[in-house]
A and B are shown apart, each in its own frame.
Chain A
Amino acid sequence: MKPVRFRYEAPHTVEEAVDHLSAAGIGGKALAGGQSLVPMMNFRLARPSVLVDLNGIAALRGITVAENHVELGALVRHQAVADSERLRHALPVLARTASLIGHWGIRTRGTVGGSVVHADPSAEWPAVLAALGAELELVGPSGTRRVPAGEFILGPLTTAIETDEILARIYIPRAPAPLRCTIEEMARRPGDFALAGSVAVHAGQEIRWTFFGLGGPPETVAVAQADRQDEAALRQQLTERVAALEVTGDMHGGAEWRRRVAVAVALRAWRQIA
């Protein structure tokens, strides 16, 4: 099928984009990489009356590696993250995350910001950004606010963003020492959405796992580091923690099976950073 008719706006500044979205009200939609929105428009699951194309806004681009943080413009493409030498040194988990997303021809267009705002429960970026304690900078008609990534996702395809707000930049804190952190997932084929995935962060006294692909927003569990030599005990602990999470089954597998996969990928991640 084909999209319904819409008015197309291609602003050059964030302020203009916000003005267009405010004026359009409920019918307005921002367009970033189009890798989630355009399929929905092609099938008429999304029928915006005004489409505000963000791709011409220079202020939404750019990767900055500073001493204490990494800053990504919302429009940074997945492939640019995967290819960035600077990011590979600063925070290698970002490149690994990007390379898990879809396929080359998806990653060349799809953006980090679009993935977070789309908030697919199986998407990698919301979980990784929550696990790393990232902050999202939102710009709206009344100014700029920052929201922790872990509080931004409210549910499947639902976030704290207002219809007239733009996600402008993403700030990811960076420890002075290299962070022991990785992401693992299980998908039916490489590039498919994850059936279950986990981001593991070695956080000093404890290890934290942020799970995605279980049906809801990313959820984090922590286990004290003292247990880490004993994999059987850890598996038991993780199984108990994952049992308490809300998990939805679908045509690819039931909730119980997904919980087992979640524990398996969590352990796989842990073996790399323990």
Chain B
Amino acid sequence: MVATEERVAITLAVNGRDEQVSVEPRWLLSDVLRRECGLKGVHVGCEHGVCGACTVLLDGEPIRSCLMFAVQAVGHQLTTVEALGTADHLDPVQQAFWEAHGLQCGFCTPGMVLTARALLDRNPNPDEETIRETLSGNLCRCTGYQFIVDAVLLAAAKRAEDAEQGA
């Protein structure tokens, strides 16, 4: 059996936009998001599911984009860190990472921020143990994790405050 090199034209729903891309079936979602969609916030560390740097949200849930083929993502809503905020208007989670020193080199940060955001969307008021368990699949080689946990607690408080002011 000769394996095919043929490309397939697919549409990916990324960050609220439809992206038309032409891909080989073997191309990983992580690579397609980076190369074809230009979303360089998707970081690639290990390509075997261990580090969590490539985390994106699929229909609101965190997944490893290095363990999924782009052709499989058709029909799903994808969210990358680029959708969260802008330099002027950071998402409360990003703002909290900044204020609590939740990053140093920043390699793990998109995955951390997206996982934290998905957690807070499900559970607006998590305790420290829940935060640690939830982020256990995202490795950080710089911070020692404490400041990341602090940042998520701070983000939860900020979001509660924002909600109160909005109400």
Contact A6 B63 (CB under 8 A): no
Contact A109 B63 (CB under 8 A): yes
A34 is an interface residue with CB less than 8 A from chain B: yes
Contact A105 B26 (CB under 8 A): no
Contact B71 A42 (CB under 8 A): no
How far is B71's CA from A4's CA once the two chains are assembled, in angstroms?
A: 15
Number of interface residues of A (CB under 8 A): 34
A252 is an interface residue with CB less than 8 A from chain B: no
Contact A38 B137 (CB under 8 A): no
In the complex, chain B residues 60-103 whose Cβ is within 8 Å of any chain A Cβ: 61-64, 66-69, 71-72
B110 is an interface residue with CB less than 8 A from chain A: no
In the complex, chain A residues 38-57 whose Cβ is within 8 Å of any chain B Cβ: 38-39, 42-43, 49-51, 53, 55
Number of interface residues of B (CB under 8 A): 34
Contact A7 B137 (CB under 8 A): no
In the complex, the chain B residue whose C-beta lies closest to that of A191 is: B136
> Would A6 and B67 be within 8 Å (CB), given that A49-B1, A106-B137 are in contact?
no
Which A residues are CB-close (under 8 A) to B25?
5-8, 51
Pick the contact of A104: B2, B24, B71, B137 (CB < 8 A): B137
Contact B28 A34 (CB under 8 A): no
In the complex, chain B residues 1-30 whose Cβ is within 8 Å of any chain A Cβ: 1-5, 8, 24-28
- A interface SS class: loop
Contact A4 B3 (CB under 8 A): yes
Contact B137 A103 (CB under 8 A): yes
Most B C-beta atoms less than 10 A away, residue of A43, A105, A106, A189:
A105
Contact B67 A108 (CB under 8 A): no
Which A residues are CB-close (under 8 A) to B58?
108
Contact A7 B3 (CB under 8 A): yes
B49 is an interface residue with CB less than 8 A from chain A: yes
Which B residues are CB-close (under 8 A) to A225?
none
Contact A42 B64 (CB under 8 A): no
Contact B115 A35 (CB under 8 A): no
Which A residues are CB-close (under 8 A) to B109?
none
Contact A27 B1 (CB under 8 A): yes
In the complex, chain B residues 109-153 whose Cβ is within 8 Å of any chain A Cβ: 115, 133-134, 136-138
A102 is an interface residue with CB less than 8 A from chain B: yes
For the complex formed, measure the closest distance between the CB of A17 and the CB atoms of chain B, giving whole angstroms. 15
Contact B136 A103 (CB under 8 A): yes
How far is B55's CA from A96's CA once the two chains are assembled, in angstroms?
A: 24
Contact B48 A39 (CB under 8 A): yes
Which A residues are CB-close (under 8 A) to B52?
103, 105
List 7 extra interface pairs beyond A5-B4, A8-B25, CB under 8 A.
A3-B26, A5-B24, A6-B3, A55-B72, A102-B137, A109-B64, A109-B68
- Which 6 pairs of residues, A with B, have the shortest CB-CB distance? A103-B137, A8-B25, A39-B48, A5-B3, A105-B62, A38-B67
B→A interface (CB under 8 Å): 1-5, 8, 24-28, 31, 47-49, 52, 55, 58, 61-64, 66-69, 71-72, 115, 133-134, 136-138
Query: 23 pairs across A/B with beta carbons < 8 Å?
Result: A4-B26, A6-B4, A7-B1, A8-B71, A10-B71, A10-B72, A27-B1, A34-B68, A35-B67, A38-B28, A38-B49, A38-B68, A38-B69, A42-B48, A43-B48, A49-B3, A53-B72, A55-B72, A102-B137, A103-B52, A104-B62, A105-B63, A106-B49
